[in-house]
Every structure is written in structure tokens, then in C-alpha cells.
Structure 1
Amino acid sequence: MGEPAQTPFKTTGSEWLLPVSEYLGFPLDQVNFLACQLFALTSAFCFRLYLSPAHVSPLVRHFVAALLGIGFLVFCFGWYSSHILAVVVANYLIIIKADLNNVHRYSMVISMGYLTACQVSRVFIFNYGIPSTDFSGPLMIVTQKLTTLAFQLHDGKSDNVRPSLIEYLSYNLNFLSVLVGPCSNYKEYIDFIEGRHISTRLKQQHASSNRQNGYNKTQDPSPLTAVCHKLLVCAGCMLFFLTVTRSLPIKYNVDPDFVSQASFLTRLTYAFFSIQAARPKFYFAWTLADAVNNAAGYGFLGMDEHGKPSWDLISNLNIIGIETATSFKTFIDNWNIRTGIWLKTVCYDRAPKHRLALTFILSALWHGVYPGYYFTFLTAIPITIAARAIRRSIRHYFLGSRVMKLGYDILTWAATQLAICYTVMPFLLLAVNYTIVYYRYTMLILHGIALKALLPSKLLQFFHSIGSPRFISPY
């Protein structure tokens, strides 16, 4: 599939901020998104201070959270928001009517099916043309929430109590997470609305550690410090995006002149830094969403080892963990954390076999139908397996001294970052023709390394199975 058609930008959402968009030079949908998130941040503080469980009933909190969330959807996406509302209503009928033994299956099929149908229509029918408003992000988040609740009902983690309509709408469409997430546990969200969130987390922590961690029960900890810290991170990410990211466009990796004239080392270096520079926009969106939830009093994890409150319960990323990752798995575990938890819950922990492959395929399907997504996630399967095999084979040789361990960490950090760069590039390029150009000049080098790393272990398993009494010859 080629590059999306270059058509004049139009939106189905509000055009109130069009002058701001034209003045700043940013697409209107991004301006609308940022305006809603900043309004959500202000509303979140008011929600915690003036609509706290001590002042109003849970019903009022549910109603306000859902109403604001629906308002954000209509403001950003106009009539396209009907797609999100439609799948929410359809799943509510499943939740209240379906047998609990099968509710998770019905919800997964309907939610993922509708998400895929919408993504197919946008990419292959409209070709990202007119109208060009991208509503797939909120639909992806809603899909996670819908299926999370259904699986929790099936597993008995919601006490087999089906939610009321207002609880259901509030959980799925609340203004704190309707645009960019994160997806959170249904029971934890209900605890937050009903005023039990912090006390429940502290009781769980106290039960596991058998100590109070210096917490004073007479007053809930304030999220203000955590919110300010996360807003500073957002400001830094925005500054980086404006000054660095925009000067290192991803598409330049497949520019014909650059590919034909630059040396292999130059192309590799540019690919590395352009991928690094692409991350801050994700850091910004997810960190701002985390700050919004914290400002409302949601996301309390517990007291840390210093007796200070931690507000990272529903954080979607760990920037330090990402940038210092020394293994493919460590990087994945710190990136889009809530989506990783969702994939583990609905797929990895339940698949009878081929769990890793099925999980990566589901992740690709959830992200969309662009070919680049499938190149990325299918490539990640052998690379993840190969990385595990290599780590098991050589790591113990470097644990003898601090110097060798440091050298090993530096080497594995560089290898991990290059592997991520190689794997993620098609995800950002999206189109088949761009991906082929990229793979051609990288000579599929990491695919080859992964296969070479896997081949010896597979042969050993084969010969071991021949010598095993459990092996049954097919001949």
C-alpha cells in the first residue's frame, strides 16, 4: 500500500480552534486534542476538590465523568464519535445479557471486529482522505476497557456483579481517559469514584508489608507534587518535539537521494536518532494523561520506601526504564504498560500454546491494518525469542566482575536500542513500499541474526527429542 493520499485537511470535529491551528501550524485535530486534555486537567482538579466522595454521591461523580468524556469525543470527532458510542452500547447489551462463561468471548469478537472494520474503512476506503479525523485512538482505548471488564466478569474479579448503565458509561467514557487512556482495572475505577481508592491501596500495601510506611490515615495524600512533576516532563517532551523531532523526520530514512548517496553507517545513524526522536510525542501524550488522572485523585499506587506517596498505578510508561533498557523484554515492559497488561490478560495468559506469537499478532491487529504494524510485530517474535536465547547463553560469563558486568550492560543497551530501531521503523513508516526500501538497505540484517541465533537451539531441541523416549517418529 502506498503513502496515504495528500488531501486538504478537513475534520468532523469542532472548528472553533481553527485560527489557533493556523497560527501555530499544527493540525486542527492535534490542537483539539491538546485543548481537551488541558481542560481535562483543570476539570480533574475540580473533580477532586469539589466533587469528592465527601461532597457528592458516586452517582453524580459517574454522571459528570461520563458527560465530560462524551463531550470531549463530540468536540474532537463530531459524528465520528457515534462509532465509539455504538460499540460501547453494543457491549453493554452483551454484558447484561450474555452468560458469564462466554461474555468475554462475545465482547472480544464484537469489540475487535468493530475496531478492525473502522480501521479498514479509514485506511482502504477513505485512504485517510476526507474526512480525515482519526478517531481510532479513543476506539482502541475503549476496546481495551470493554474487553477488560468482560474478562474480569468472566474471571469473577468483579464479584460477578454486572455494572449499572451509568457505572458502565463512566468507566468506558470518563473524561480522564477517553481520548488517550490509559485502560485501568474496573474495580479500581469504581473504588476511585466511591472514595475507596486510596484506602484500599494502603490496606493492600499494609497487608503485604505489615507496616504503615509513615502514612497518616487522617488525610489522603495530595497528588499535586506528582502532577507537577509529570507536567514538567510533558513540557520537556514538547520542547524536544519542537526542536529535535521535527528536524529528524522518519520518512527521510527512505528518501531516494538519502538512500542512494549516504553510506550504510550514515543511514544506520540517522535511523537510530530519528527513532529516538520519535518517542517524546508518545511520552508527552501518555504522561499528560497520567497527570490528568492523578489530578483527579486516581492512580495512587501506595507509599514508597521513603514513606512518600507514589502515583504511578496506571502510568503507561517508564521513561528511564525505556531509555536504559538492556533487553528487548525490558523495553517492552516499560513501553505502553497498560496495553501490555491488557494483552497479557486477554491473550498471553490464556493461549494454550504459541502465546508470544499470538500476543504480538493481537497487538498488531489492535493497532490497525497498516502493513507496517504487521512487519513490526511479526519481526518482534523471532527477535524476542532470539534475545532470550542469547541472554541465557552468554550473560553468566559477564557476572564475574563489576567491570565485565558494566561492559555487558553497555553492549546490551546498544544492541537493544538498535534492535528496537530496526523493529519499530516499519511501524512508523506504515506503507509496504517504504518498508521494503528500509529492509533493502539494511539487508534484513537483524532478521538474519535472529534466525542464526535460533537455529542452533532448535537443532538441539530436535536432536534431544530424537533421543527422548517420548518422541514418536512421524514415519
Structure 2
Amino acid sequence: MFGAFIQYLSGVFGMPEDQIKLVTLLVAGYPLALVLRYILHPSSTSLHVRHLFSSLSGLAIAALFYGWQVLALVGLVAVGYIILLVAPPQTVHRWSMGWAVLFLSAGNILSDYYVGSSNIRWTMMIMIQKLTYVGFSLYDGMGGNSKPLNKDQEKQKLTSVPSVLEYMSYCFNFHSVLVGPSVTMREHLDFMDGSNFRVASPTSSQQSSSTEYAKEPSALYPVLSKLLLSIFFVALYTLLADHKTPLPIDPSMNIFVKMAYFCLACFVIRSQLHFAFHVNDSISNVAGLGFEGYDEQNRPKWGLASDVDAVGVEFSMNARNTLNLWHITASRWIRRVVYERVSWSPTLASFLFSAWWHGFHPGYYLGFLSLGLSVMAAKKMRRWCNPFFTSRGPVLKWTYHIATWVLTQLFVGPMVV
């Protein structure tokens, strides 16, 4: 029945069934989020019920999208939980990371040679983040880490192994099971019991009582703004997708026209991800996930579950800024489990780890090497060029800004698709 419905929508919109199925299942997260936020509110509902609803609905979405392939995800999560139970605190992070590396490596190799109706690689990449997050949080919280914890590690640490239900709702929750975003287990548990809203605002004298539910800030503006952005990008993709296929290149074609086609093709591909990231971010906010406190003007911030700043990425004028605004939760994860943990060249280790996380195609490693070189080159050039061009009148200043934007789109844009 679901398959027939997807076929009908595919015929109506003229889009592939996989894309229609993904959009349909992502949008289905909105009513589920409303149920979790208002009907199953933590003030009136058992945490067991909330965890059960979140995990079962997420499993159903994954099963509808992946079919029998969802069993591979269940196996990944099940073995990961067994490791948490049996591994000593001193090495639980290594066992969790080892299992994650083994599973994702095998999955990436198989995915490179197998093309099915839907590939679970992206969801595996998200699951890997969650499994390693839990392992490192237990390592920090159960006495395994003998080094002083930084502020973030102290905040995210776990002092006991989560229950099976908590673990399943963390891994398979409906608002992140397909394309993310990923948060830590501590952030997920705080969201599920409502304690994520017990944050002092700049104008309050103290935090809300741990035994009372704080007044929840409105998520209407972030939800609507992210939803509108997602609609904008899916509309653009629908209109422009036919133009991303390679066009016959006329050798006499102007080089600037070729560059424009190239940038447009990269933008069309990115628009798919902009849509998926903004939809899931919006759904997370509807459910109550994403709140991270207040700014200095006492306005609520809803960026914890944000994976991309679309406007910032598309109008970025340097490589570093683009990387900071793209795959935000993945970058945060790599910083927490690699950059802050290794003692040898953390920057190089992070780039290599990120390349492995994406797969084994040589292009990934060439791409991340190019990104690293682009970041270093852009940093050196800005030190000289920025003061020179920005201090010589508005015409030269804007010419410089446009030139850096074009160069960023040409050299960095293809790397973030």
C-alpha cells in the first residue's frame, strides 16, 4: 500500500521513487513531533512511553525506507550496546570506535559495488556518530579517562550505561534516523525528560528547579523559518534538477559560461541536502530538541540540531567559513572524538578520519586534501589581501568580496556536495 502511494506521487511529481519516499517519510516526522511534544509531554507522560514512542516510530520509518536492510542497522546498534555492557570503562571508547570503524568500512566497501533502491550508507554514518558518542561519554564519566575533562566533556559525560530503551530511542528516534542530525546521548536524555529547558536566561537569577518543568520557549520562528527554507530548496531542486546532468560541451563555449554551469550543478546537488537538513532540524525543534539556551538579548537559541547554515554556505567568501557552516553536527562530532583526543597532529587526523567516514573512493581523500590546502592558502592570502583591498574604497572592496565568493564556489563548493 505504501509502495503504491509512493508510485502515485512519483508519477504526479515526475521524480524518482526514492526521492519521493524520502520526502514523504521526512514530512511524516512533523505529526510525530507534535505528538511527542504536546500529547506525550514529559510533565504528564512516563519517560518509558516517550522513549518507546520515539524508537518504534523511528524504526517504522527506517523499515519503510530501507526494507530488510534495516536489520543491518539493528545489528550495528545491538552489538554496540553489548560492547557498552561488557567493555571496561578504560577501553569502552576504543571498543566502540573499533566496532564502528569495522562496520562502516565493510558497509562502505559493499556500497561501492552494490546499488539498490535505497542505500543505508548515510544512516550508517549517522549511527556511527551516536555509537561512538556513547562510548566516549562513558569513558569520560565512569572513570576511564584519567585526564582532566574539558568543559564540554564534563557536560556530556555519562556515569552509567543507558537502558536498552534509552539507547534505542537515541539511535532510532524518528527525527534523526534517516539523515540526522546527531546529538550526544546526554543531550538526547535531557531533551526526553524536559531538562533541556532548565537553562537560566540572562535576565533570570538562577536556573529552573530540577524538580519543576521550566517554561518552554516558543519554537515557532525557528520551525517556520527552517521549514520555508526547506520548501525553497526542494522547489529549486525540482525546477533545476534536469540541468545537473552533463551537457554537451562546446569547445568554443566561453570559460565563464562553463564555470557558471559548474557552480549551478554543485548548487543543485547541495539543494537536496539543504532541504533534508532543514526539514529534520525543523522537526527536531517541533519535538523540543535543539534548544541551547538564550543569547544576550534573552532570545531563545535553537541551533543545537542545526546541520547547515544554507545562506552562510552559499554566500561564503572563504573555505574555513564554508566548512564551519556545513555538516555542523558532524564537524562537532569529529572535534569531540578525534581532534580533542589525539596527541599527534589533530588537524591531519581529523581530515583523514572525515575522509574515511565518507568512504574509500580516492576522490574523498583528494577532496579533503584539497580542502586542507585551500584552508591554509586562503588563510595566508587573507592576511595580506583583506587589509589591502578593503581599505581602498567601496568599488575595490566589493570587487574583492565578489572575487573571493566566486573562488570559494569554484574550489570549495564541489567539496560540500
**TM-score in terms of structure 1 length:** 0.77
- Offset, 1:416: 1.8
Aligned residue for 1:294?
285
Q: Show the counterpart of 1:117.
A: 106
Shift of residue 267, structure 1, vs aligned partner: 1.9
- Of residues 98, 108, 118, the one that matches 1:133 is 118
Deviations 1:445-465 (A, max 9, x none): xxxxxxxxxxxxxxxxxxxxx
Matched, 1:420 2:409: no
For residues 75 and 268 of structure 1, what CA distance do their matches in structure 2 show? Answer: 40
1:185 and 2:184 matched: yes
Equivalent position of 2:163 in the other structure: 164
- Single out whichever of 265-274 and 290-299 deviates more from structure 2: 265-274
**Structure 2 vs 1, CA of residues 32 and 276 (structure 1 numbering), >3 Å: closer, same or farther?**
closer
| Partner-residue secondary structure (3-state), 2:412 | helix
User: What amino acid does structure 1 have at the position aligned with 2:382?
Assistant: R
Residue in 2 that maps onto 1:344: 335
1:298-356 C-alpha deviation (Å, 9 max, x unpaired):
11122344433232222111122212322100010001100111111122222323333
Counterpart in the other structure of 2:22: 33
Give the direction of change, closer, same or farther, for the CA distance of 1:221–1:161 in structure 2 (3 Å limit): same
Displacement, 1:182? 0.2
- SS where residue 301 of structure 1 aligns? coil
Match of 2:243 in 1: 248
The counterpart of 2:40, out of the listed 42, 48, 51, is 51
Tell me how far 1:73 sits from its aligned partner: 1.1
Structure 1 segment 67-146 matched on structure 2, within 5 A: 67-124=56-113, 126=114, 128=115, 131-146=116-131
Please tell me the root mean square deviation across aligned C-alpha atoms, in Å.
2.5
Deviations 1:20-58 (A, max 9, x none): 223333222222222211111111011111000111111
TM-aligned CA deviation for residue 367 of structure 1: 1.5
Structure 2 matches for 1:290-329, cutoff 5 A? 290-329=281-320
Alignment of 1:247-396 (within 5 A): 247-249=242-244, 251-252=245-246, 257-258=248-249, 260-396=251-387
Asked whether the equivalents of residues 294 and 300 of structure 2 are also in contact (C-alpha less than 8 Å), the reply is yes
CA shift at 1:361, angstroms? 2.0
**In the alignment, which residue of structure 1 is the partner of 2:226?**
230
Say whether the 8 Å CA contact 1:14–1:76 is kept in structure 2.
no
**Offset, 1:237:** 1.0
Cα separation, 2, equivalents of 1:211 and 1:317: 33
Counterpart of 2:50 in 1: which secondary structure?
helix
* Counterpart Cα distance in 2 of 1:75 and 1:351: 39
CA deviation after TM superposition for structure 1 residue 272, in Å: 1.9
Residues 402/296 of structure 1: CA separation in 2 closer, same or farther (3 Å cut): farther
Q: Which amino acid aligns with 1:221?
A: P
Change in CA separation of 1:384 and 1:71 when aligned onto 2, cut-off 3 Å? same
Stretches of structure 1 lacking an aligned partner (at least 5 in a row) = 1-12, 429-475
Paired AA for residue 179 in structure 1: L
Task: Output the CA distance in 2 between the equivalents of 1:167 and 1:295.
Answer: 20
Aligned residues of 2:18 and 2:117 also touching (Cα < 8 A): no
* Alignment partners' CA distance in 2, 1:211 and 1:414: 48
Verify the 8 A CA contact 2:80 2:131 in the aligned structure 1: yes
Distance in 1 separating the partners of 2:87 and 2:31: 39
Is this contact kept in 1: 2:111–2:121, CA < 8 A?
no
Structure 1 position 188, deviation (Å): 1.3
Residues 264 and 45 of structure 1: is their aligned pair in 2 closer, same or farther, counting only changes over 3 Å? Answer: same
1:114-148 alpha-carbon deviations (Å, 9 max, x no partner): 11211211222x2x1xx332111111111111111
Residue type of the partner of 2:131? L
> Residue type matched to 2:411 in 1?
A
- In structure 2, the residue matched to 1:63 is 52
User: What amino acid is the match of 1:168?
Assistant: Y
Q: Which moved more, 1:87-96 or 1:145-154?
A: 145-154
**Mapped contact 1:364–1:373 kept (Cα < 8 A):** yes
Matched residues in 2 for 1:145 and 1:402: separation?
50
Deviations 1:365-392 (A, max 9, x none): 2122334323322221222222222223
Structure 2 letter corresponding to 1:178: V
- Distance in 2, matches of 1:168 and 1:399, equals 52
Q: CA separation in 2, counterparts of 1:261 and 1:365?
A: 40
- Looking at structure 1, the residues matched to 326 and 374 of structure 2 have their Cα atoms a distance apart, in angstroms, of 17
2:122 partner letter: G
Shift in Å at residue 76 of structure 1? 0.8
Specify whether residues 151 and 15 from structure 1 end up closer, same or farther in structure 2 by C-alpha distance, changes over 3 A only: farther
Residue identity matched to 1:295: V
C-alpha separation between the residues in 2 aligned to 1:271 and 1:212? 53
- Shift of the 396–54 alpha-carbon distance from structure 1 to 2, 3 Å rule, reads same
Q: String of CA shifts for 1:273-316, please: whole Å, max 9, x gaps.
A: 22223222111100000011011111112234443323222211
- Cα distance in 1 for partners of 2:219, 2:204 equals 24
Mapped to 1, the partners of 2:292 and 2:57 lie a distance apart of: 25
Contact 2:291/2:303 (8 A) holds in 1: yes
CA distance in 1, matches of 2:229, 2:214: 31
Identical-residue share of aligned pairs (%): 29
Which TM-score applies when normalising by structure 2?
0.87
The residue matched to 1:175 in structure 2 has which SS? Answer: coil
SS at match of 2:249: helix
Q: Any idea what SS the aligned residue of 1:365 has?
A: helix
Displacement after TM superposition at 1:407 (Å): 4.8
Q: 1:90 and 1:238, CA in 2 relative to 1: closer, same or farther beyond 3 A?
A: same
Superimposed CA distance per residue, residues 172-207 of structure 1 (whole angstroms, 9 cap, x where no aligned partner): 1111111111001211110111111111xx23x54x
Task: Tell me the distance in 2 between the aligned counterparts of 1:158 and 1:192.
Answer: 15
Between the aligned partners of 1:81 and 1:62, the Cα distance in structure 2 is 19
Cα separation, 2, equivalents of 1:259 and 1:163: 60
Counterpart AA for 2:118: T
Offset at 1:210?
7.1
